[in-house]
Structure 1
Amino acid sequence: MDFRHLGRSGLKISEITYGNWLTHGSQVENEAAIACVHAALDAGITTFDTADVYANTAAETVLGTALKGQRRESLEILTKVFGPIGPKQHNDTGLSRKHVTEACEGSLRRLGTDHIDLYQAHRYDYATPLEETMQAFADLVRQGKVLYVGVSEWTAEQLRDGAALAKDLGFQLISNQPQYSMLWRVIEGEVVPTSRELGISQVVWSPIAQGVLTGKYTPGGQPPEGSRATDAKGGADMIKRWMRDDVLSRVQELKPIAADLDLSMAQLAVAWVLQNDNVATAIIGASRPEQVHDNAAAAGVKIPAEALERIDAVLGDVVERDPAKTHESSPKQREV
């Protein structure tokens, strides 16, 4: 496993991060989830990403159980705050000082740790003054409950405003967690250049585009039983944007490129996002331990420029590049 610095900080994280969105506490039984975490540890992965909103806090609990007994200093535990949790009452969501502070305490308890390595604002909160949010993060840092602060799916302008406030308050904003893959490149136009300027790294999610880039979905074919596209608990909704014949046909054309590089399709997809020097790590998910080992093998892979050009030529106009898509990802008002 290779490691990269997160932003301009001294924190090093593994190039592959194990994440448990849509799996732990939901799609995958606890025993299988714990087996996947242990497979990640065996593969050299030290960075684990979750969020309190995943499975309404259950995912954090499962991850805490799976990591129990591991040397805490050898791990980087990442979680997030914003989404509605608990009974979803009026203060159970957003980035108010009250919710950030209380959510942090809950995450620490569920994860079974006394500090969070990277605490991330899961979305931008238009209903709370940014100054209030960043002050709450600053206080958690000073209390030692949070070591570093990041965000998720913020626009370039939001990153700039957040980084300036963080600096004034005596800490760094070091990361952004956006969706990024061969098919979804909306961060390349504005977010990545701004992040490079500010010393912020990307912690990218869905590098395999919800499984579409594995090539297991074929144009005109039925999704494999048990796959993300058949998951009625949320997975099918997330993947449906890619379940078009024009996209699936282009993805099938990537198979010779992966074969030429002696990579699986999943490894090619994960390695592709890691070619971007602003990406510190790619988050992978899994329902079986063998998936973890397959994806983790993408660490350290260098894709030749010629192969990158072939990928661009194959995918062509099915790639989404519109920077405005980042702005659309944040709700403009609190969900209650």
Structure 2
Amino acid sequence: MEFRYLGNSGLKISELTYGNWLTHGSQVENETATECVKAALDVGITSFDTADAYANTAAEKVLGKALRGERRESLEIFTKVYWPTGPKGPNDSGLSRKHILESIDGSLHRLKTDYVDLYQAHRYDLETPLEETMQAFADVVRQGKALYIGVSEWNATQLRAGAALAKELGIQLISNQPQYSMLWRVIEPEVIPASQELGISQIVWSPVAQGALSGKYLPGAPLPKGSRATDKKGGESTIKRFLADDVLGAVQNLRPIASEVGLDLAQLAVAWVLQNPNVSAAIIGASRPEQVVSNAKASGVVLPQETLDQIDAVIGHLADRDPAKTVSPETRPGS
């Protein structure tokens, strides 16, 4: 497993980060979830990403239990705050001081740890003054409950404003967690240049486009039973945009390119996002331990420029690059 610095900081994280969105506490039984975490540890993954909203706090509990007994100093644990939790009352979402300070304590309790390495704003809160949000994050850091601050799906303007306030408050805003894959490149025009300027790097989610880049979905064919595309708890809606026949046909045309570099399609997709120098880690999820082991083979892979050009020739014209699609809800959800 290779390691990379996170933003302009001294923190190193595993370039494959294990994430439990849509799996722990929801799609995957707790015993299997624990097996997946152990598989991640066995292949050298030390960074683990979750959020309080995943399965309405259940995902944090499952991860905390799965990591019990591991040396805390050898792990990097990330969680997030913003989306609704609990009974979804008027203050159970967003980035108000109240919600942040209450949420960090809840996350630490569920994760069975005294601190998280990275505490992330899961979206930008348009209802709360940014000054209030960043002051609350600064207090979380000064209380020793989080070591660093990150965000998720913030646009370039929001990143610049947040980084400026963080600097004034004497804390580090070091990461952004956006969706990024061969098919979803909306961060390339604006977010990545701003991040490079600010000393922020990306921890990207959905590098396999919710599984669409794995090659298991075939154009014109029925959806595989038990796949994410048939999951009514959230998976179906997240992958839908990538299931057009022209996209799935192009994915199949990537097979010989992947074979040339000794990878399967999912490994190629993960390796592709890691070629971007502003990406510190790709988040991988799993419903079976063997998926973790397979995806781990993408770590340390250097794709030749010729391979990158071939990928763009096959699938680049189908990628979405519209920076306006990095958006946060106009009002706090669930309240």
TM (norm. structure 1) is 0.99
Deviations 1:255-290 (A, max 9, x none): 010011110111100000000000000000000000
Task: Tell whether 2:179 aligns with 1:179.
Answer: yes
For residues 310 and 264 of structure 1, the distance between their equivalents in structure 2, rounded to whole angstroms, comes to: 15
For residues 10 and 262 of structure 1, the distance between their equivalents in structure 2, rounded to whole angstroms, comes to: 33
Q: CA deviation at 1:317?
A: 2.2
Counterpart position of 1:58: 58
User: Deviation above 4 Å: which 4+ runs of structure 1?
Assistant: none
| Matched residue count | 334
**How does 1:1-336 map onto structure 2 within 5 Å?**
1-327=1-327, 330-335=328-333, 336=335
Alignment RMSD (CA, Å): 0.5
Q: Which amino acid aligns with 1:219?
A: P
Q: CA deviation at 1:316?
A: 3.5
For residues 67 and 264 of structure 1, the distance between their equivalents in structure 2, rounded to whole angstroms, comes to: 29
Could you say what secondary structure the match of 2:48 adopts?
A: strand
Deviations 1:42-98 (A, max 9, x none): 000000000000000000000000000000000000000000000000000000000
For residues 118 and 82 of structure 1, the distance between their equivalents in structure 2, rounded to whole angstroms, comes to: 14
For residues 281 and 191 of structure 1, the distance between their equivalents in structure 2, rounded to whole angstroms, comes to: 16
TM (norm. structure 2) is 0.99
Deviations 1:223-255 (A, max 9, x none): 111110010111001000011101101111000
Could you say what secondary structure the match of 2:119 adopts?
A: strand
Deviations 1:5-28 (A, max 9, x none): 000110000000000000000000
Contact 2:183 2:316 in 1 (8 A): no
Q: CA deviation at 1:301?
A: 0.1
Structure 1, unmatched stretches of 5+, are none
For residues 223 and 11 of structure 1, the distance between their equivalents in structure 2, rounded to whole angstroms, comes to: 41
Structure 2, unmatched stretches of 5+, are none
Q: Percent identity?
A: 72
For residues 243 and 268 of structure 1, the distance between their equivalents in structure 2, rounded to whole angstroms, comes to: 19
Deviations 1:115-167 (A, max 9, x none): 01000000000000000000000001001001000000000000000000000
Q: CA deviation at 1:176?
A: 0.1
For residues 195 and 317 of structure 1, the distance between their equivalents in structure 2, rounded to whole angstroms, comes to: 25
For residues 222 and 72 of structure 2, the distance between their equivalents in structure 1, rounded to whole angstroms, comes to: 44
